Each structure stands twice: as C-alpha cells, then as structure tokens.
Structure 1
Amino acid sequence: MRVIDLSSPVDASFWEPDPVRHTAMSPAEGARHMVSEMREHFGLDLDVSMLPGGEFLNNDTLTLTTHTGTHVDAPAHYGSTASYRASGPRTVDELPLEWFYGPAFVLDISDVVGRGTVDASRIADECAKISYSPAPGDIALLHTGADQHVGTPEYFTDFVGLDRSAVAYLLDLGIRVIGTDAFSLDAPFTHILTEYERTRDHRVLWPAHFIGREREYCQIERLANLTVLPKTSGFRLSCFPVKVARAGAGWARAVALLDE
C-alpha cells in the first residue's frame, strides 16, 4: 500500500492570523525539570547527575487554535444550535469515526480566479470530467492550489471556496465530509466582506459554513499535496481528528491510502 501525506504542518515559523507559539524543552532542561518536579511533589531528593548524560526527556509546549494546520471542523463550529438536532450540534469528540475513513475523490477547481466561489454546476461538471459518481459516505476533496502559499499571508486571501449550492449538491449525494487544500471551504474573508458591503445580502456571509446549521457535515481544511495523488479517485482517505473534548475542531493527519 502506498501512503501519501495530504497534511499541512503546524509550524511556528509560518505566518498565521493567530500565531503559533512553540517552546521546546531540551533533554538537559527536561532533566532539571523532572528533578524539580519530583522534589516539589513527591519529596524525592534526586540529582541530574543520576541520569545518563545528565539528560532526561525533551518536551514541546504549543499555544495554537484547533484550526491551525490540517484540521476537521465539527458541526459545533458552525453555531450553537442545529435545526436537525434538538440537543445541538456535535463536537469533534462526538462524531462517528467511520466518517473519517473511506473512499475519496478529488475535484480540481484551481483554475478559478478572483478569489470567489464555485457553484453546484461546476462541481457536477468536475465529477463528470473525472467520470466519477460520488456515493454516500465518500469524502470529497477540492484542489484549489492554495497550498502553494502555505506559511504566507497569501494563503489566507488567495483561494476559491464553495457557495451554498455547491455544498448542498455534495451533501445531497450523501457526502458527510468535504475537504479543501485552502484555508477555508468558504471564500476568503476579504472577498466575503467585500461582497456583503456591496450587496448587504446576508446570504453571502460564510454560506459553506452556515449551511452546517441545517445539515450535519464536517469540513477538512488546510489539506496539501493533492497534486501528488496519481489518480483522482480509487483511493481511501484517513483523516481522524484528535479527540479534543467539547471542541469545535480537531487537528488531523490526513493521508491517502492507495493499493499497489
């Protein structure tokens, strides 16, 4: 089996709207920390010299949002209420794991310029172009080309998203998870707010996210390397989110699995 990484990294050197803070503890620092903790909490009189090389274990502390790097948006991310569920939308730790492993296919919308959206007709055309009929439980992946800008400010402004009709089209086919190599499944914030200023139409405000208040589904955002895939369908995707209790999203290591 061939395994292809479709994830973008969590990297504190990248430009992010919410910067990542990464503090690394070296093995030598880990030794001093362990000795101090043992003395304070357990009254053990230890010394760093007892450890081989004066080192213990390294550690890393990160401060970041659950939307940094490749991640899965849970229904709870879209709002506090859901018309389809009286008890409210599910958080990422409540979702069925089988949603995040299954057949996947890639649609190429990287030719779209203007940082806007594509509609249902474009999605239908792309499915026809690759001669693929999506089935319930499939995972849809969108190649926008945005991952070439990962780590830069352009990553958050130069990409194409889906409009409401495009998301509804995929959901009507029984798809529960839609992924993109862009920062968002919606158009960039700048495009959305400009359109709202022009139209004063609330329907242009994050339609790909807000439809999730009416229909239960998940997004995988900030994928990468979709162009590395040797085919547009006939492979499986694994994208299990980290089990962050009560969270609206969870980081994921998305990988494509291809039989050879």
Structure 2
Amino acid sequence: MIVELSHRITDGMTTYPGVPGPVLGTHLSREDSKEVYAPGTEFHIGTISLAANTGTYLDTPFHRYPDGQDLARLPLERMADLPGLVVHAKPDTREVGVELFEGLDVRGHAVLIHTGWDRHFSTGQYFTQHPYLAPEAASWLAEREVALVGIDSLNIDDTPPRGERPAHTVLLGAGVALVEHLTGLDALPDSGFRFHAAPPMIVGMGTFPVRAYAIVP
C-alpha cells in the first residue's frame, strides 16, 4: 500500500507567512501546439514560479549552512527508501519533547512526528501556536544518527518570537534531512514502512518541494 503524505501545490497557495505563493502559467497551450505538431497531436507545456519552501518540502544542510550538502549533493539514502517510525504527540501539544522518542532505535530511520496540525493547513490557524520539536529532542535524535526527521506542522522549530531555529541548526548541522508540512501521518503504522521524499538534484539550493509518501507492506 502506498500512503500519500504531501499537500497539493496550487496556484497562489500560502505555505508560510511572507513567502510568495506559486504562480502557474503556460509556455505552450494545447491550442497553440496545433501549429507545431501533426493534426490531432496536442501537448501542454506548463510553467511554475515558486519559492523553494512551498507545500511539503525537504530541507538539506545547505539550507542552514553555506558549506552543507545541497539538493544535488545530499545522498539518496538520506531521503529515500528509509525505514520509517511514527511518533504521536498528544493532542494540543506545542513542544514535542525527548520523552516521545526514548526507547526507540532511530539510527538510520526517518522519524515522522505526528501532531495532527495538518488539519489546519490552508487556514489562518495553521500559522500560529503550531507544534514544534524541542531543542533537546533535536539533539537527542542527532546524537543517535537519525537519517531524516519530518513533521506535519508549519515548522520543526517554534516560529516568532524565537528566531534561533535550534532544531534546524542541530539536525541540519548533523547532516539530517528535514521534511516539513507533511500530512496524513495518521494513516501510517508506528513502524514497518519505507519512507520516500526525494527532490530534484538542483545545484546551489537547500530546499525544494517533494512528493512524500510511504510504502506499507
């Protein structure tokens, strides 16, 4: 079974306050293509302009560090076909603490934090008082060599007034990929699945949207 874990990208959507929404356009319409191809043969070639942090996206170390691995250099084994674990935060949790992970063998795994906050996606409530990962928990995961950490919330860090972004700093500094704005984590078992979230190989960029999904036997 394949489980979809990404939000759809739509024209003008808001993923994060202050980040411009994507603009979808057309390079070649089906009507115009009639003048290029044989009768009865039509094509559509679209265009899109978007900020890299749009929809469900992956952060690489380059997002935080100028000498970190970018989208083109981060190995596939850090973001695709990873053994997955889901941890479940209690309802209305703001700070996801280290106690949620204790006792788990997270080394080499994609650890996905299910908060249920994705239910507010595309609403104003999504942008305020969202769940995030405690700095101590980020350090705990990094020290135990987790491969990837994902969350179904606005940000893996608390957003304003805190500006330090400690979870990004610790995890990306340890070479751990991050996936934010996941959805549908409630459809996954706690373990026993494979997680995939690979973006294009773009040189000099640190983040990009992904089609995140899980394969459940």
* TM-score bucket of the superposed structures, by smaller chain: 0.7 to 0.9
Instruction: Give per-residue Cα distances to partners, 1:1-51, cap 9 Å, x unaligned.
Output: x111111111115334321111145311344xxxxxxxxxxxxxxxx2963
Q: TM-score, normalised by structure 2?
A: 0.88
For 1:226, which of 185, 191, 196 is the aligned residue? Answer: 185
Residue 154 in structure 1 maps to residue 156 in structure 2? no
Give the conservation status (yes or no) of the 8 Å contact 1:140–1:179. yes
Give the conservation status (yes or no) of the 8 Å contact 1:243–1:250. no
Residue 237 in structure 1 maps to residue 195 in structure 2? yes
More helix by share: 1
More strand by share: 2
Report the alpha carbon displacement of residue 171 of structure 1 after superposing the two structures with TM. 1.6
Residue 109 in structure 1 maps to residue 96 in structure 2? no
User: For residues 64 and 49 of structure 1, what CA distance do their matches in structure 2 show?
Assistant: 28
Report the alpha carbon displacement of residue 252 of structure 1 after superposing the two structures with TM. 1.5
Give the conservation status (yes or no) of the 8 Å contact 1:66–1:249. yes
Instruction: Give per-residue Cα distances to partners, 1:115-143, cap 9 Å, x unaligned.
Output: x422223432xxx5xxxx32421110011
SS of aligned partner of 1:179: strand
Give the conservation status (yes or no) of the 8 Å contact 2:138–2:171. no
Structure 1 window deviating more from structure 2 (13-22 vs 245-254): it is 13-22
SS of aligned partner of 2:58: strand
Instruction: Give the % identical residues.
Output: 25
Give the conservation status (yes or no) of the 8 Å contact 2:33–2:43. yes
Q: Where do 1:1-260 residues align within 5 Å?
A: 2-16=1-15, 17=17, 18-24=20-26, 25-31=28-34, 48=35, 51-53=38-40, 56-80=42-66, 88-100=67-79, 101-113=81-93, 116-124=94-102, 133-187=104-158, 189-190=159-160, 193=161, 196=162, 205-212=164-171, 214-229=173-188, 231-259=189-217
Distance 1:50 1:242, change over 3 A: closer
Gapped runs of 5+ residues in structure 1? 32-47, 81-87, 197-203
Bigger Rg, which one: 1
CA RMSD between the two structures: 2.1
Report the alpha carbon displacement of residue 111 of structure 1 after superposing the two structures with TM. 1.4
User: For residues 50 and 155 of structure 1, what CA distance do their matches in structure 2 show?
Assistant: 46
Distance 1:49 1:243, change over 3 A: closer
Report the alpha carbon displacement of residue 99 of structure 1 after superposing the two structures with TM. 1.4
Give the conservation status (yes or no) of the 8 Å contact 1:8–1:223. yes
Aligned residues: 212
Give the conservation status (yes or no) of the 8 Å contact 1:15–1:152. no
User: For residues 194 and 32 of structure 2, what CA distance do their matches in structure 1 show?
Assistant: 42
In the alignment, what sits opposite 1:40? none
Report the alpha carbon displacement of residue 163 of structure 1 after superposing the two structures with TM. 1.9
Question: Which residue identity does 2:191 align to in structure 1?
Answer: S
Give the conservation status (yes or no) of the 8 Å contact 1:241–1:251. yes
Q: TM-score, normalised by structure 1?
A: 0.74
